[in-house]
Amino acid sequence: MQNNESVSLPEDFRGVHIHFVGIKGTGMAALVEILFHKGAVITGSDVSERFYTDEVLEHLGLSALPFGAANITDDVQYVIYSSAYKLDKNPDLIEAVRRGVPCLLYTQALGAYSERAYSCGVCGVHGKTSTTGLVGTILKEIDLPSQVLAGSVINSFGGTCTYTSPMIGNDVSSSGLQNVSSSGLTRGSIFVAETCEYQRHFMSFCPQKIILTSVEPDHEDYYPTYEDIRQAFIDYICKLPNGGEVIYCADDKGACDTVGLVRELRPDIVMIPYGVSSSGLTRGSVQDDYSVTFGTVANERNCFTLGLFAAKDDFALAMPGRHEVLDAAAAVALVCRLLVTAGKDPLDYYENIKRGLLNFSGGKRRSEIVGRFKNSNGAEVIVLDDYGHHPTAVKTTLEGYREFYKGRKIIVDFMSHTYSRTQALLSEFARCFTAADEVILHKIYSSARENPADFTITGRTLYEAVMATGQQNVSYFEEILDAADFAKAELEKPLGPEYPDGYLFITMGAGDNWKLGKEILK
């Protein structure tokens, strides 16, 4: 078995043949995009099931091969693989090891790539993808050489997972920032990436700045206690260099708890809060004031102000939810701190930031509108899909929809992901659907890393727990498409005067119940 801890990536990717095992993974596909445009020769393998990342790969002229030893030819120089596959189990990886081909986990490859840029990591239990997408969409309007990698397709990136500034073209190692300041942007172009806490994957990343959105129990199969997952975030933040910056949500108890413990260990790290509760926590400089004041929500616009730009007009998002406003505040804070580090005044970029925020329209499976139609009564139905799978994310997202789509009846179809998460957070799940008018539940969508036989909990257990809270209009269908006729009938019912705008039908979760939305749209 090879020791892949010491494997790194070449300085120049042009003509280098890299094979990706698990190429359809969202992070993997994003890294494929970056390395493809840097001149690498790419092949990859995965399962035959179609994922939305197939479109990303097809846009590059690539397609996934079936797993097999024959994929590892004499031309393959590096293998990058998803953590879902093991060196001693997957046939591609077994052959690569036999041949002595250097193999890197995706997270190790991302970490190696981050070393050659001024890198910023976006982390947290919730909001990583949206926040990263917002950062990239704002940076598209800013004259800083930057590259951004998100964990999903971002609409405003042009339907891809990555954004690369024209200032650096396809070469993230070309600087364009040398000697612009004495503060730190001398290591090359800016690289911003979504970094994941699961199995401490983000510990391979080399950050100069970090956004921390939230910390609370999750991934109970790996982090049995809150203290375990909190410690992972503490260790990640402590990877920052002397004087590095962590931009954290002052409205999230776990984030505040985490940075408080970091402060004791590393008083040199600069703590920059954002959110409603951050106004009393600023460090005395107007440049650090990212306090949020929520504004009006009307005409499908979510308005808010930030302390730094208090003298300006409101910012606006075309996205629902106060959680999206907080993600936007985090993104603005990071962009502003990058501008300050580059010797620029963020106030000069107000219009650019405002334009970037309004241009953001979410990502694949992140409040994604997948279709609209009129029912037989002439009422409009919006079909929306969202990846929210933690009870806090489900609750805040549904509350955001309720505020944003005030005149619509909300029906949510939810599929819980992993037995361990559902069991550990059952009481929180039972109370997270209160903003919906109708709830449809299914069996639990399992993970390859757990055995359902080890658990007594089922999807019906969750259904009974929701019913026990007294919530009305809850239905259970074991299989996803078994709910199709019921959902279609619900969407044909005449609406009362409290719902003048029609219906909002949401498929939510990390499973494959998005198929129900597609079926309804047929």
Q: Which two tokens stand for residue 150?
A: 């998100």
17 falls in which pLDDT band (50, 70, 90)?
A: very high
| 37 three-class SS | helix
pLDDT (average), residues 97-115 = 93
pLDDT, tens digit, for every residue of 250-309? 999 999 999 999 999 999 999 999 999 876 665 545 468 999 999 888 877 889 999 999
Q: Does the pLDDT of residue 427 top 60, yes or no?
A: yes
Residue 2, pLDDT score: 52
Token pair 């993997």 is at which residue? Answer: 28
Residue 206, pLDDT score: 94
pLDDT, tens digit, for every residue of 403-416? 888 889 999 999 99
pLDDT, tens digit, for every residue of 117-147? 999 999 999 889 899 999 999 999 999 999 9
Angle of helix 322-341 relative to helix 128-139, nearest 10 degrees, comes to: 50
| 312 three-class SS | coil
Residue 175, pLDDT score: 37
Q: How far apart are CA 367 and CA 363, in angstroms?
A: 7
Residue 84, pLDDT score: 86
pTM to 2 decimal places: 0.79
Q: Which two tokens stand for residue 176?
A: 């364009």
Per-residue HEC secondary structure of 120-184 comes to EEEECCCCHHHHHHHHHHHHCCCCCCEEEEEEEEEHHHCCEEEEECCCCCCCCCCCCCCCCCCCC
Contacts 24+ apart (CB under 8 A), 50-53: 51/24, 52/153, 52/364, 52/365, 53/24, 53/25, 53/26, 53/28, 53/29, 53/153, 53/161
pLDDT: is 144 or 452 the higher one? 144
Report the residue count for the chain. 522
Let me know: does 469 contact 395? Beta carbons within 8 Å: no
pLDDT, tens digit, for every residue of 213-246? 999 888 878 889 999 999 999 999 999 999 999 9
Q: Does the pLDDT of residue 443 top 80, yes or no?
A: yes
